[in-house]
Structure 1
Amino acid sequence: MGKENGTCSDEPHGNFSTFFGQTDVPEWEAVLTIGTLSFVILLTIIGNILVILSVFTYKPLRIVQNFFIVSLAVADLTVAILVLPLNVIYSVLGRWIFGIHLCKMWLTSDVLCCTASILNLCAIALDRFWAITDPINYAQKRTVKRVLLMIAGVWILSLVISSPPLIGWNDWPEPDVFLQIQVCKLTERQGYVIYSSLGSFFIPLFIMTIVYVEIFIATKRRLRERAQASKINLSKNQCAVNHRDNQQDRESVSSETNHNEQPEANGKAKNKKSKKKKEKDSDTNTLKPILTHEDSLTDNAENSSLSQRRNSNPCTSDKKAILNSTTTVTLSNSNSKPSPKVVLCEPKKPGFVYQFIEEKQRISLSKERRAARTLGIIMGVFVVCWLPFFLMYVIIPFCPICCPSRRLINFITWLGYINSVLNPIIYTIFNMDFRRAFRKLLGLAPN
């Protein structure tokens, strides 16, 4: 939000004859300033237009929560179109040459668009917070109507914050005085400064800080849970290997026994082998799980050998963890006895399945880490860009002896504007769909 401290009038304005006319800075500095700031404006316009077009033209991005991203991009785009070009001219010339009425509209647009950008960041933070902390209920509540109402609320609140100077809450000079000083600056009415700074920055900053701390904590908790699930899957994998090895050993022993038994026992051995083969065949369907019965109410001699094997099996060394991490189903019988729990311990052919599961979990953990890292980047960039300006904005009206130079004021002001350049980068570069949409729009996508 452009601001010049009109009370510090002891700093003389420069009067340099340059290619651009009479400027406040030397020609080399004017060229460097115009070139750099024009590049920033162009980058802001292109980046935010790409974001808007991506959401409306790339099908995977046409989801309701991306409407917040579109609203943010619109706010940043209006900053680049309505505010920044006039600020470049004002910074180079050192005086406002467009009249008091355009000055008032420019300042109002400045406050409106920058506030809308910040409040859209706050709305995005809240949307992510609700989606993480209450995913099931919020998925039903996150309708197009609800999102559009939130976006409308952002812009209405921005208008409420930016419009009071237009209806008299200002200290702007009279038109004849304005023609003499040619200074276009935000009002320094202390009441309005507090009101606008709280609504435009400090309250959204507080909300975003609390929300992103909660999101960060939830993300770290999810990382721990997924890491624990990965350990359990490794244990289950070992369970399957041991089960398969034990079964192979039993088959080998059975084969040797049948080979060495007396002829009169061959019939019984064949029956046992046939029964075992049927049990094996019923369990060896491709990618079907092994069903291990666990019935705490029936602990008799018939399943004592099963209990011994279970106690020596790493799959059930932590029974509670396994039960919590696997799917259980209930089997009923015709005698209406208590139904045993069935734990899906391990696929019969674990190699491919576990390779797939581990890969999915690795990708998921990587995404969670990137999300946590992105949260830090979002908050860090937002604070670095806007905190210096709003501190200056609040301090100067209450500190008559605080007179920063015009160069420092311009630098701090443009630092806030740069947030509009970085927003489309931060909120989209970490999203693969946005990257694909950008490449498609720029003609860089492979045919």
Structure 2
Amino acid sequence: MVCEDPISVHHYKCYPSINNYLCMEPEFSLNRDDDLCNDSSNVSGITTVISSYLLCICVGFLSVLIMCGNLLVIISIIYFKQLHTPTNYLILSLAVADLLVGVVVLPFSTILVVTSCWYLKDLLCKIRGSFDAFLSVSSILNLCSISIDRYYAVCQPLNYRTKMNVHVIVVMILLSWTVSPLGVVISKWGLKPEESNRCVLFQQARTAIFGIFFYFYLPAIIMSSIYLKVFIVARRQARSIQNTTCQCKKSKAAVSKSERKATKTLAVVMGVFLICWSPFLLCITFYPLSNYTIPVPLIETFKWLGWSNSMLNPFVYGFFYRWFRLSFRMIISGKIFQGDFTNFKLF
């Protein structure tokens, strides 16, 4: 026998009993991953496997670059005493945030993209999303702290050592890491339960715009204003340095020139960060306003561009700072393991 209602064939399962057939409702799940795992054809399965391998190779290579580059920065600042400066402590904090992106966010994101049938996927998705928001906010706050450090170093050099001592730097770093969890809360704020449980690279709630404004646009405006002020003062100092004659003024000129170079380098770091993250955050901002017409794959591509920023900072330091290049060579060659070079003069 079959079920009396032919329409119900697709909605009921029939099981034989003693006298007739019993029609029962099957169990449905909101998550269709199991069906997707079982229904793929051989051709699509092969294509999926190949694309998964390519993605793993590319992301694995990116993660290795991020980890190795930022580890070089971290080891250099910790090992060489000459690099124990307030500015470098802030760079160290930024490098730790970038390192965690390569260790946690990128590998977890790759696993979520490649595997669709893993029972720990929901937990992994929550961990990835939390670390993503946490580290992004921490990076932007560390960059804000660096811009404040550069302001006092160039605009108020006489008060720099008193205003930006080690204790102040430690407080700034702690604030950068303790305020960051609010970014995780704001990223979930305003979402419905079914939306907050969905594993996506970005949230589509309109309330997310407020979080982006306070954690990206506002800090970006502040940093840009500070660096603009710094460059105006630096240009004024450069003009006055050209007229120096005595040895004392020449010594001060050399110090001022070094601070200006450091400021220019760190401004490049900030600029690279804004270039990498602006496309994604602008798309997120205008995504609800455009009635969700921006292609989602494009937004996800910009998200990966933002994560790749964590790889670029060590290259910027190595390109602009001769002492970082020297410390990198000493670490890579293993020279630091052949003796005590903590007091080695890098510059």
Give TM-score, length-normalised by structure 1.
Answer: 0.59
**C-alpha contact (below 8 Å) 1:385/1:415 kept by paired residues:** yes
Q: Which residue of 2 aligns with 1:225?
A: 240
Gaps of 5+ in 1: 1-11, 234-324, 328-356
- What amino acid is aligned across from residue 100 of structure 1 in structure 2? D
Q: 1:257 matched to which residue of 2?
A: none
Counterparts in 2 of 1:378 and 1:73: CA distance versus 1, 3 Å: closer
Which structure exhibits the higher relative contact order, with contacts defined as CA atoms closer than 8 Å and separated by 6 or more residues? 1
**3-state secondary structure, aligned to 1:228:** coil
Contact kept? 2:152, 2:159, Cα under 8 Å: no
Is 1:438 aligned to 2:294, yes or no? no
What amino acid sits opposite 1:195 in the alignment? F
Q: Structure 2: how far apart are the matches of 1:149 and 1:380?
A: 25
Counterpart contact for 1:48–1:76, Cα < 8 Å: yes
Residue of structure 2 equivalent to 1:395 = 286
**1:230-283 CA deviation, whole Å, 9 max, x = no partner?**
xxx4xxxxxxxxxxxxxxxxxxxxxxxxxxxxxxxxxxxxxxxxxxxxxxxxxx
Q: Give secondary structure in 1 for the equivalent of 2:77.
A: helix
What displacement does 1:154 show?
Answer: 0.9
1:139 alignment counterpart? 161
- Cα pair 1:129 1:212 within 8 Å, conserved: yes
Contact 1:170 1:189 in 2 (8 A): yes
Identical residues among aligned pairs (%) = 31
Deviations 1:381-409 (A, max 9, x none): 22220100101122223333414142x23
Residue of structure 2 equivalent to 1:173:
194
SS at match of 1:188: coil
Q: CA deviation at 1:150?
A: 0.6
Alignment of 1:168-317 (within 5 A): 169-173=190-194, 183-191=199-207, 193-229=208-244, 233=245
TM-score by length of 2: 0.74
Q: After superposition, give the CA deviation of every residue in 1:166-203 in whole Å (9 maximum; x if it has no partner).
A: 6x64334289xx6xxx7434433322x12320232111
State the one-letter code of the partner of 2:191: N
CA RMSD of aligned residues (A): 3.5
Once residues 65 and 243 of structure 2 are traced to their aligned partners in structure 1, the CA distance between those partners, rounded to angstroms, is 44
CA–CA distance in structure 2, aligned partners of residues 137 and 66 of structure 1:
18
Write the letter of the residue equivalent to 1:147. Answer: I
From 301, 305, 310, the counterpart of 1:420? 310
> Does the residue aligned with 1:170 lie in a helix, a strand or coil?
coil
CA distance in 2 between partners of 1:87 and 1:199 (Å): 25
Q: Offset at 1:26?
A: 4.5
Structure 2 residue runs of 5 or longer lacking an equivalent are: 1-35, 339-347
How many residues were matched structurally? 301
Equivalent residue letter for 1:170: L
**Inter-partner Cα distance in structure 2 for 1:425 and 1:173:** 41
Task: Say which SS state the counterpart of residue 418 (structure 1) adopts.
Answer: helix
Give the distance between the partners of 1:188 and 1:403, measured in 2 at CA: 12
